[in-house]
Homo-oligomer: A and B are copies of this chain.
Amino acid sequence: MATLGLVEYQDANPEVRAVYDDIMATRKTDSVTNFWKAIARDPATLRRTWESLKHIMAPGAIDPLTKELIYLAVSSTNQCHYCIASHTASAQKKGMTDEMFAELMAVVGMANETNILASAYRVEIDEQFRSHPG
Contacts and interface: CB of A to CB of B under 8 A. Distances in A.
Determine the main DSSP class of A at the interface with B: helix
A116 B125 contact: no
Interface stretch (A8-16, A18-26, A63-71): A63-71
A56 B45 CA distance: 9
Interface in A78-108: 78-86, 88-89, 97-108
A110 B52 contact: yes
Q: Say how many copies of this protein the assembly contains.
A: 6
Contacts of A98: 4, 41, 134
Contact of A74 (B49, B73, B80, B81): B73
Chain A interface size band reads 35 or more
A5 B80 contact: no
A44 B99 CA distance: 11
Contacts of A120: 3, 72, 76, 79, 84, 105, 108-109
Given A45-B106, A49-B114, A104-B62, A123 B2 contact: yes
The 9 closest A-B pairs by CB, nearest first: A42-B102, A76-B120, A74-B111, A80-B115, A5-B134, A113-B113, A85-B129, A61-B99, A82-B118
